[in-house]
Structure 1
Amino acid sequence: MSDRGELLSATALTTFRLNGQFLEVSEELARPAGLTASWWQVLGAVLHEPLPVAGIARVMGMTRQGVQRIADLLVERGLAEYQPNPAHRRAKLLRPTPEGRAAVEKITPGHAALAARLAEELGEEEWAAILEALRRLSAAIDRLQ
């Protein structure tokens, strides 16, 4: 594939397909824990430290409005809570509740099983190289924007 336009199109289409595949697998992993893939994504962003909605959106590549909607649902269901943000009066921080952490923990066995199967399929070195290539591609797109 020598045409740069074709290369870009093929890269984008492959990435879209991969994103869809990850979303499908994430839904399957999250369902037994009573979560959706997007709820898991938002909870996962705040497992190690509370973040404002805008920070979660940046880290996860989501819209601020989408994260706000999910965060409000998580709070409503007792899986997360808002806390004051010392750095910004109006942008509260989101953090998981013990129930939210427990729900994410229920995903761990299925997550570990999928990781083992992928490592078997790809080999750990090839998988690490793929991850590095994806990170370089993402960083290049960030620089161009």
Structure 2
Amino acid sequence: MEGDAFSAFAIAALRLAGHLTAAGDRLAKPAGQTSARWQVLAAARSGDMSVAQIARALGLARQGVQRLADVLENEGLITYTDNPQHQRAKLVLLTTEGAARLGMIEVAQAGWADGLGAAFTSAELDAARAVMARVMGLLEADEASGG
């Protein structure tokens, strides 16, 4: 029975992920970006992560993030710089133009989030986030153990 409830939860989470990605694409489009590119731009803001580190943080394949980063570099939105910790794994840095595009997206996202957030209490959202964090932790532990 718990398995049925978890399966229903997982299906709802997957559907939500699809809706959030579509919404992210709509929010990023005026800045000429997509949800995936937006995530890489946001990660590049810190300036202390390599492509592999960004991929791990986002739960994405390194090769996919590398392709996105290369496109963003070609568009002048990020740049690569030497990594004092690793000779070959360059750090990803946001350029001035990349920061401007990211800022456009984040302004749109803030208004969007305020509108949706008004439909819930902070306690409801905190509880939902806590359940999601527990599920992710269990899944990550299962993956780490080879399960």
Shorter-chain-normalised TM-score: which range?
Answer: over 0.9
SS of 1:90 mapped into structure 2: strand
- Number of equivalent positions: 143
- Pick aligned residue for 1:102 from 76, 100, 110: 100
Match of 1:48 in 2: 46
In structure 1, the gaps of 5 or more residues are none
Deviation at 1:140, TM superposition (A): 1.2
Describe the SS at the equivalent of 1:95.
strand
State how far apart, in whole Å, the 2-side matches of 1:110 and 1:75 are: 23
- Which of 52, 77, 80 matches 2:78? 80
- Alignment correspondent of 2:14: 16
How far off its partner does 1:54 sit?
0.7
> Percent sequence identity over matched residues?
37
Return the offset for 1:50.
2.8
RMSD: 1.2
Equivalent positions of 1:1-145 (< 5 A) are 2-4=1-3, 6-145=4-143
Give me the TM-score of the superposition, normalised by structure 2: 0.91
Q: What is the CA distance between 1:137 and its match in structure 2?
A: 1.0
Alpha-carbon distance in structure 2 between the residues aligned to 1:98 and 1:80: 9
Give the match's secondary structure for 1:50: coil
Q: Which runs of 5+ in 2 are unaligned?
A: none
